[in-house]
Copies of this chain bind each other. A is one copy, B any other.
Amino acid sequence: MLFFMKVDKVYMTDIAKQLITSDKLCKQAYEEVITSIRSSVWPKGSNIFTINNSEKNVNGVVPLKENCYIMLEETYNWFREKPLDVLKYEKKKGGPIDVYKEFRDGDTVRRVGLEFETGNISSAHRSMQKLLLGLNRKELDMAIILMPVFELAYYLTDRVTNYEELEPYFENAEGKAFVFIGFNADAFDSSVEIIPKGKDGMSKRSIKKWIQKKD
């Protein structure tokens, strides 16, 4: 298998680093996410990921997220839209976690939540707070946020957040198991096909929702 979206920058809190090094399930979770983000190629059928850099903000970002999620759901059996109990039952507000999986090994379970940021910087702050709440309440054992790095985001939809923009606040997650991943294109080329914006050109599919999960 070939992987070509680059993982350019990673920040792990001390606890996350320790877990990913020494805990088999957390290591597996991290590797599944890395493999899924790296699996994107562009244009379709290529064997590397090349972004059109003819103009600022020219490409869409949703298809990147979609590729990553398809692999997480279909290859690795992650689920979409996992509500946190604290938000759903206690606070009665706030949306679910984007992607979620429970890793099991005998009696050990590790619950990992992931958000792939395609909104603006403020919305990235909200995702971070939501995941921190899940960690504080011990509904999650590890949290991950995926974002394009600045160099790539420059050619994606206007105001899409980037790794460097949220970076000053990563340390607010110290004391919790949190990983921030910044991905980048493999190559830049002004003649390559532009990534469509929104859901244009994406095949329809049913996402694998947590709520439909059969135990």
Interface residues in A86-113 (C-beta closer than 8 Å to B): 86-87, 91, 93-94
Q: In the complex, which residue of chain B has the Cβ closest to the Cβ of A171? A: B136
The CB with the most chain B CB atoms within 10 A, among A87, A123, A133, A168, is that of: A168
Given the known inter-chain contacts A125-B122, A126-B125, please indicate yes or no for A133 contacting B94, CB distance below 8 A: no
In the complex, are the beta carbons of B167 and A91 less than 8 A apart?
Answer: yes
The contact string, 1 if C-beta is below 8 Å from chain B, for chain A 111-150, is 0000000011111011011101100100000000000000
Contact of A132 among B126, B164, B172 (CB under 8 A): B172
Q: A93-B165, A165-B93, A167-B91 are in contact. Are A172 and B133 (CB under 8 A)?
A: yes
Q: How large is the interface on A (under 10, 10 to 19, 20 to 34, 35 or more residues)?
A: 20 to 34
Residue of B nearest to A90 (CB): B168
Is A169 close to B, CB under 8 A?
Answer: yes
A126-B133 in contact given A91-B167, A168-B86, A168-B91 (Cβ < 8 Å): no
Q: How far is the CB of A153 from chain B (nearest CB, A)?
A: 14
Q: Indicate the member of A121, A125, A133 with the most B CB atoms within 10 Å.
A: A125
Nearest CB of chain B from residue A58's CB, rounded to whole Å: 24
Q: Which B residue's beta carbon lies closest to that of A119?
A: B122
For A169, give the chain B residue with the smallest CB separation: B129
The distance in angstroms between the C-alpha atoms of A168 and B172, with both chains bound, is 18
Residues from chain B with Cβ under 8 Å of A165 in the complex: 93
B-side contacts of A136, CB under 8 Å: 171-172, 174
A133 touches B91 (CB 8 A): no
**Which residues from chain B contact A87 at a C-beta distance below 8 Å?**
168
Which residue numbers of A lie inside 8 Å of B, CB to CB? 86-87, 91, 93-94, 119-123, 125-126, 128-130, 132-133, 136, 164-165, 167-169, 171-172, 174
With A129-B129, A136-B172 given, name 9 new contacts (CB 8 A): A86-B168, A87-B168, A93-B164, A122-B122, A122-B125, A125-B125, A129-B172, A132-B169, A133-B171
